Structure 1
Amino acid sequence: MSFEQQLDRAHQVLTEKGFLPSSANPLIYRVVRKLGLKVPPPQFCSFSINTLLGTLWFGSLWGLIMWFMQWESLGVSLSYAFNASLVTGLFFGVMMSAWYKLSAKRKQLPSWGEI
């Protein structure tokens, strides 16, 4: 089975189990797939991949918003801004990874290999 077929089947399983389309196929996962990486839906990804993707997108977005809304005018250093964004993104990434694993377990989803 090709990755695309497996992905379609995974989305079908997620829909059948009651997941919302936005939860089954979040924007960051669609962007990463468009870049050519074969990433399954978050409920089937490893904890580390979910953490990495959550950290990257949320930390970057939050850091940019904070920089232009507050930090620049306060004279915050770039190293502080980077570290704060990284820690905030990491916290978000870990929490979202835990949520995806918990929801997959709660809804008794099969593993990615079983799809």
Structure 2
Amino acid sequence: MNTPEQKYPAKVQLALRHLDAAGVPRRQSAPLLHRVLWRSGVTVAPPMLASMTANTLLMGVWFAFAWGLLMWLLLWRGSTLSSAMAVFAALVAGAGFGLLMAALMRGLRLRHRLPLWRDLPDTPPA
């Protein structure tokens, strides 16, 4: 039987098995953004195994883009707010969100006593 995980890169499959064994719910170990990246062949660490820097950048960048676009379409487009200020606000919001989520993921990783992505082997043990 084919599962969606079989389409993920090998190291991701290994990491997900490791997270499952630690009792981490799948909604935390494989969020939608990461599943889309994995199905596209991008080998990115599950958020609980990623470093603070990687989580801050990945989560902050997509949030800054999505939140900034939404705010522009709903509020800022008809206001006197300059484009530069709108971009700055989106970047600040993205940085704040990225740092908050990275800290949350780090706390969960430490609570479950999980290794960092770089400490996992590239292939499953034989």
What is the number of equivalent residue pairs in this alignment? 113
Greater than 6 Å deviation, 4+ residue runs:
none
User: What SS is found at the alignment partner of 2:48?
Assistant: coil
- State which drifts further: 105-114 or 32-41: 32-41
- State which drifts further: 17-26 or 43-52: 17-26
More helix by share: 1
Superposition deviation, residue 34 in structure 1: 4.8
* Rg (Cα) greater in structure: 2
Q: Deviations over 1:4-44 (max 9, x none)?
A: 33211211222232322222112222344455542111111
Identity in percent: 34
Preserved CA contact (<8 Å) 1:43 1:100: yes
1:5-20 paired onto structure 2 within 5 Å: 5-20=10-25
TM-score (norm 1): 0.85
1:33-48 paired onto structure 2 within 5 Å: 33-34=38-39, 36-48=41-53
C-alpha distance in 2, partners of 1:6/1:35?
A: 14
Per the alignment, residue 29 of structure 2 pairs with 24
C-alpha distance in 2, partners of 1:79/1:86?
A: 11
1:62 is aligned, of 67, 77, 87, to: 67
- State which drifts further: 27-36 or 62-71: 27-36
Per the alignment, residue 91 of structure 2 pairs with 86
Q: Supply the AA of the counterpart residue of 2:101.
A: M
Q: Deviations over 1:69-114 (max 9, x none)?
A: 1111113211011000000000000000011111000011133323
C-alpha distance in 2, partners of 1:68/1:58?
A: 15
Q: Name the Cα RMSD after superposition.
A: 1.9
Superposition deviation, residue 53 in structure 1: 0.6
TM-score (norm 2): 0.79
C-alpha distance in 2, partners of 1:53/1:59?
A: 10
Preserved CA contact (<8 Å) 1:28 1:53: no
**Is there any run of 5+ residues in structure 1 with no aligned partner, and where?**
none
